Amino acid sequence: MLVVIPLEIKKREFVQKTFLGYQILKNTNFDVLIGEQRFFSKKIKNFKNAIFFDKNTYYKRVEDLINPAENQLCMLDEEGPISLLSEQALKFRYHKKLKGKINHFFFWGKKDIKSLSYKIDSRNSSIAGHPKFDLLKKPYDKFFDKEVKQIKKKYNDYIFYPSSIEQTNNYFMGVQEKSLKESYPQSSQNFIKKKLKKIIEYKNNTVKNQNRAIKILYKFAIDNPEINVIFRKHPREDLAVVKKKFKNFPSNFILDNNFSITPWIIGCDIYMHSGCSSSIEASILKKKIITTIPFGKDIRDKFFRSYGNICNEEKNCISKIDKVKKHNAVPEYKSITNYIFNSNTKNSFYKEFIKYLKKNNLKNKESEIIYHQKVTNQILIISHFLKIFTYSFLSIIKSIILKTFLISLVSEKYLYSKKELDKKFNNLNKKEIEYVLKKLKKVDKAKFNYKVKKISDSLFLLSKNNIK
């Protein structure tokens, strides 16, 4: 019996998905296959009696993902509560063709199901939240103690600002246009252009909102040299570009992208954002939140404005930061509970997931992993140099591909260099997994044993070790 957990962006998903894998080992008889999705998602049909826990509900991908006669597919959208998605995003990510192809949907909160244009059988869905919020509650909040101590020792008091800007390029716009055409197949080109215009407007507003926030924080850093301002870039932002942007900023305005985002939120005195989904974590942790989103009328903008201290003007915002910092009362963010099932101490995602595993019809069947990776060193060497050549060659013609219909024929992985791909996922090794599992076991004083076996590059099998 096997649960397959793919990872797309390592810094965002590794700890929380490994935590889920740990709970599966602890509470069930299932093994867990976890690793970078690039290395195995295309070969998932070779698996037998596996439950594939995916983060992407794009229906064409689903159709090619598994053999439904031999496996099961369950989904949890990684991007956030789907009730915050635009009409177009909902149509694309939760296409009506998905109905009957997903064995089980997991949703962040009760508002999510109401957002869908079609009904889902309650037996095939769970309102469960997200595993990352389980880690914010006792006893697992201790998991980040070491990182928080390191951060606090280095920076003491600090305001934390995570970037919410993803790089918008020709590839991004090409994907958006493609998804619009699939979401609205009967629509005119003029209709598609109008929708694209709205997407561009939203992206531009995101940049404008962040630039406003940076201007405010720049002034605050100059006026308050004893307080650090920590800026964390988005995983998809280019580090060199961000460094250049802050080249002449004061020394207490710091760019630091170490660790996962959670210990930064735990350790901060004030959390400030311009529409970042990590603000949900900040609200659950009852942090003092400053929200600055002066531009935009998107559904996500409205949601982020529903909690925290709202400030949009430079002068007013700086005075509000001072006021919030001095205020000792613990904030309450009641609006979050409608969107996040496990935002309270009572509910847990992993418990809902384990309920699903224990009642599914694969529970008494043995799983098979058929992963063909046995090759000679010579083949590996040749493959390595062929990859380098491919990436180099395609980088020359990439700009042409991105601007033509060819974008629909070429996989994302071939449109980015290895360096660009590593922004999402920079390798995974056995020691990293064992480190997380060991910390979790220590936190909840668990008494079971486990073993970690390397299957392929950045792909590992976690299983119980019953040998005492």
C-alpha distances in Å from residue 334, one per residue of 59, 78, 83, 274: 34, 22, 17, 20
- Between CA 51 and CA 5 the distance in angstroms is 9
Q: 144-334: which CATH number, 3.40.50.2000, 3.40.1800.10, 3.40.50.150, 3.10.20.10? A: 3.40.50.2000
Residues 6+ apart with CB under 8 A from 145: none
Number of neighbours of residue 92 by Cβ within 10 angstroms: 21
Average pLDDT over residues 393-401: 53
pLDDT at 446: 87
Q: Which amino acid is at 294?
A: P
Average pLDDT over residues 450-454: 93
Number of neighbours of residue 33 by Cβ within 10 angstroms: 26
Domain boundaries, the chain: 2-130+344-373+427-464, 144-334, 377-426
CA 161 remoteness from chain centre: 17
Share of the chain above pLDDT 70, in %: 80
pLDDT (tens digit, 9 = 90+) per residue, 306-363? 998 998 888 888 888 988 988 887 788 888 888 999 999 899 999 999 999 988 765 5
Average pLDDT over residues 31-59: 77
pLDDT (tens digit, 9 = 90+) per residue, 159-190? 999 998 876 656 566 667 777 787 777 788 88
Residues 6+ apart with CB under 8 A from 296: 202, 205, 206, 209, 275
- Between CA 37 and CA 56 the distance in angstroms is 11
- Between CA 349 and CA 106 the distance in angstroms is 9
pLDDT at 39: 66
Q: Is residue 241 scored above 80 in pLDDT?
A: yes
pLDDT at 408: 42
Average pLDDT over residues 130-157: 94
pLDDT at 337: 87
Q: Which amino acid is at 113?
A: I
Q: What is the pTM of this model?
A: 0.82
pLDDT at 467: 47
Smallest Cα–Cα separation from 70: which of 87, 91, 47? 47
CA torsion through residues 84, 89, 95, 100, sign: negative
Average pLDDT over residues 214-224: 93
Q: Which amino acid is at 32?
A: V
pLDDT band at 382 (very low <50, low <70, confident <90, very high): low
Smallest Cα–Cα separation from 317: which of 381, 369, 272? 272
Q: Which amino acid is at 138?
A: K
Smallest Cα–Cα separation from 267: which of 152, 163, 145? 152
The 3-state secondary structure of the chain, one letter per residue: CEEEEEECCHHHHHHHHHHHHHHHHHHCCCEEEEEEHHHCHHHHHHCECEEEEECCCCHHHHHCCCCCCCCEEEEECCCCCHHHCCHHHHHHHCCHHHCCCCCEEEECCHHHHHHCCCCCCHHHEEECCCHHHHCCCCCHHHHHHHHHHHHHHHHCCEEEEECCCCCCCHHHHHHHHHHHHHHCCCCCHHHHHHHHHHHHHHHHHHHHHHHHHHHHHHHHHHHCCCCEEEEECCCCCCHHHHHHHCCCCCCCEEECCCCCHHHHHHHCCEEEECCCCCHHHHHHCCCCEEECCCCCCCHHHHHHCCCCEECCCHHHHHHHHHHHHHCCCCCCCHHHHHCCHHHCCCCCHHHHHHHHHHHCCCCCCCCECCCCCCCCHHHHHHHHHHHHHHHHHHHHHHHHHHCCHHHHHCCHHHCCCHHHHHCCCCCCCHHHHHHHHHHHHHHHCCCCCEEEEEEECCEEEEEECCCC
The more confident residue out of 59 and 219 is 219
